[in-house]
Structures are given as structure tokens and as C-alpha cells.
Amino acid sequence: MRILVADDHELIRQGARKLLEAQTGWEICGEASTGREAIEKAKELKPDVVVLDLSMPDLNGLEATRQIVKALPQTQVLILTLHESEELIHDVLDAGAHGYLLKSDAARNLVLAMEALGQHNSFFSCKVSKLVLEGYLHGCPHEDLSKSSVDSLTPREREIVQLLAEGKSNKEVASVLNLSVYTVVNHRTNIMRKLDIHSVTELVLYAVRNKIIQP
């Protein structure tokens, strides 16, 4: 099994590498420290499984998952994160991830999770499974949020929201996305109009509230 590990903390990447490469026949074919780099490495290396942190700079794990799954339907994505909420779990599943593992459970469950995904099965931490089950039994209230303002944005607009909320200028965003500054300004105007917000401060609050960036 060929595995790509994507996390912005080197300590987490090295810990995952040590744990996973101890398994016979498993290989860490690459590492990434940003969401955008994770997509590029996944397309280049075509791993069997991507272990992906949810809170990534440049492009968060949710958007990276969407693009990886779209480009590489056979590649399984395991989200490795500190965060647990029913809404977030369902967002991750809707994005196409196949597993959701809390970092607090990684030491004892990462190998089990990889074995499951390697066989094209799903895997969830115990706490996560409980949240999913409770949501199902109570009528999946997350569905009421499915038409939220986040969904009104295009994938490109969500990328731009994250980069702007991280403090990048229009010129820096243009450079990262290989766009003209004029195009970025147009996107920014459309985003502000769609979200009915009027300042970068409001945009940052929106991004934090909707888990696009972490405070």
C-alpha cells in the first residue's frame, strides 16, 4: 500500500511515517505540508491512501479532499484531525473522504484505519461513529444546513476565501492560484456580495465560523 501523508506539522508526519512504515508492504510515497501541495503530490504519485489533516494552510483539508477524490476516484482519503462535530463529519463525508480519525486516537487506531481503507472500507473513530449514529437517529439535522452560504460559493471562491482569510493580499492570492489580480478582485467582489459581508475582518470571522480556517 502506497500512502501520502499530508499535515502541516512535521512531527505528525514523522510519527505517522514511523508507525505506518513499520507495517509489512506499506510505503510512504510522499509527504505534503499544505492542502495545495497534497493535491499536487496526490496527482503526481497516485497513492492508494492519502492521510490528510483537516486544518491545512493555503487550502484546507475539506477542499483538498474534494479535489483529490475528483481527480483520483480510486484513491482513499483518511481525515486525521483534532476536531469532532457532527456537522464537520458530514461535511467531510460529503466531500468524499472514506475515514475520519481523531488525532487523539491515532496511536492505537491509525493502522486499523489504514487496513480498512486499503480494503476499500470506511473507518471512523469510536467518538465519531457515535456522533454519526446519533445524528442519524435524530433525523440528521445537518441536512438543514446543506443550503448554507458555504454551498453558494464555487470551489474557486472557497479557495480564495481561505487565502484572503489567512492574510494574503490580492496579488499573493493571484500568484498562488496562477490568476490575474483583476480576476482575484472580481472573485473577491462576488464573494462579498454572495455572503453579504463588507470587510476582510468579517470575511475572517466567516471563514473561522465555517471551519475554512482555524482561529
Q: Which DSSP string corresponds to 24-74? A: TT-EEEEEESSHHHHHHHHHHH--SEEEEESS-SSS-HHHHHHHHHHH-TT
Give mean pLDDT, residues 156-181: 89
- Look up the pTM and report it: 0.70
Contact (CB, 8 A) for 126 and 105? yes
83: confidence class by pLDDT, cuts 50, 70, 90: confident
pLDDT of amino acid 149: 57
Q: In terms of domains, do 94 and 157 share one?
A: no
**39 plus 64 within the same structural domain:** yes
pLDDT band for position 119 (cuts 50, 70, 90)? confident
Q: Same domain for 29 and 96?
A: yes
Residues 116 and 158 in one domain: no
Determine the structural domain holding residue 15 and report its residue range: 2-137
